[in-house]
Structure 1
Amino acid sequence: MLKQILCIDDDPITLMLSKKVIAKAGFSELIITAQNGEEALSYFNTLKYSKDQSVEKPQLIFLDLNMPVMGGWEFLDHFITPDYDEFNTINVVVLSSTINPEDLAKAKKYSIIIDFLSKPITLQMLEYLKNKIEL
C-alpha cells in the first residue's frame, strides 16, 4: 500500500469515484486531489517550502490531460524542471478519457510517466499498477 497519492482531475465526480475505488482496493492510505495542474504545482510548492520535514510527498500521481487553467501536459512541463527536482522520483500515470495515439507518443518523452491508461480507475487497473510498481 502506498502512503499517499495525488489525483489531478478537473471533474469532481471522477475524483470522488477514484477515491472510492482506491480506498476499496487498499491502494493508498491518503488520497490528495487537485483540480488542475496549477493547483497541483501549488501543492508541491507548499511541500517544498514546508519547515516540517515529516511531511510526506505523494508516491504516485494520477494525471488527467485535458483540464482548464493548466492541463496535464503543461503541468508535466513545469514539474520536470529543476524547480521540482526533489519530486522527480514520483511516478505519474496518465489517465485520459480518450487514448489519442499522439498523446501516447508524447507521453513516452516524459521519463516519469510509467503508464497511460483509460479512465475510469478500476480495481483491475490498480492491481495491474501494484504489480508494475511492486507494492
Structure 2
Amino acid sequence: MISTVDKATRVYVIDDEPLDNIIFKMLLKRVNSKIQVDAINDGRNAINKLIQMCKTKPEGLPDYIFLDLNMPGMNGWDFLAEFKRFGINQYKKIHINILSSSVYWEDINKSLSNPLVEHFFNKPINLENMKSIFRADGFAGNLSIV
C-alpha cells in the first residue's frame, strides 16, 4: 500500500507487450505520481534482476509485481516457480498480482491457488482496480479476481 512516508512504493510490471506496459505506467501514475515503476519485458530478466538485488540491495526490491502469464521464454508460471525456488520473499514480502489477457478458468484458478499470488486482473487493468490495490483500506492481502 502507498505509504505517506518518504519511501516511494516500487512496482515491477513484467510483460512482453510494450503497449501494455505503457498503459500500465500511465494508469499507475494517475493513482500516485510518486510510485516508481519499472517495466521488464520477460520473466528471465525479472528473476535475474531480483536475484541480483537480493544479493546487493534487498531494500530496493519492489513492493508489488504485476505479472503477465503468457510471455516467450520464461512465462509467468516459470517466473513464479523461480521466485519461490530462490526464496525472494525472505528478503522482503512482495505483493504479486497476475495481469493477464487469459480468460481460461484454469489460469485464473491456478493463479489464485498459488500462495504467492494475491489477485488476478484481466488486461487491461482499469483505474478503479489499480486504485483499490493501493488504497489503505483496499483489499491488498486477500485473494480475489477482479
By how many angstroms is 1:17 displaced? 1.0
Query: Equivalent of 1:34, from 12, 36, 40?
Result: 40
Establish whether residue 96 from structure 1 lines up as the match of residue 106 from structure 2.
no
The 1:49–1:11 alpha-carbon spacing in structure 2 relative to 1, beyond 3 Å, is same
By how many angstroms is 1:88 displaced? 6.4
Secondary structure at the aligned position of 1:80 is classed as: helix
Establish whether residue 46 from structure 1 lines up as the match of residue 52 from structure 2.
yes
AA paired with 1:132? F
In structure 2, the gaps of 5 or more residues are 3-7, 142-146
Tell me the equivalent position of 2:21.
Answer: 15
Give identity over the alignment, percent.
26
Q: List per-residue Cα deviations over 1:58-114 (Å, max 9, x = no partner).
A: 111100000011100010011111443425621111011122100122113311211
Tell me the equivalent position of 1:81.
Answer: 85
**C-alpha separation in 1, matches of 2:20 and 2:127:** 15
By how many angstroms is 1:28 displaced? 5.4
Establish whether residue 66 from structure 1 lines up as the match of residue 73 from structure 2.
no
Secondary structure at the aligned position of 2:29 is classed as: helix
Tell me the equivalent position of 1:133.
Answer: 140
**C-alpha separation in 2, matches of 1:27 and 1:90:** 20
* Count, aligned residues: 132
- TM-score calculated relative to the size of structure 2: 0.81
* Misfit runs of 4+, over 6 Å: none
**C-alpha separation in 1, matches of 2:27 and 2:126:** 7
**C-alpha separation in 2, matches of 1:101 and 1:114:** 16
AA paired with 1:127? K
**C-alpha separation in 2, matches of 1:95 and 1:28:** 21
In structure 1, the gaps of 5 or more residues are none
Establish whether residue 110 from structure 1 lines up as the match of residue 88 from structure 2.
no
**C-alpha separation in 2, matches of 1:114 and 1:83:** 17
**C-alpha separation in 1, matches of 2:33 and 2:79:** 24
Secondary structure at the aligned position of 1:132 is classed as: coil
- TM-score calculated relative to the size of structure 1: 0.87
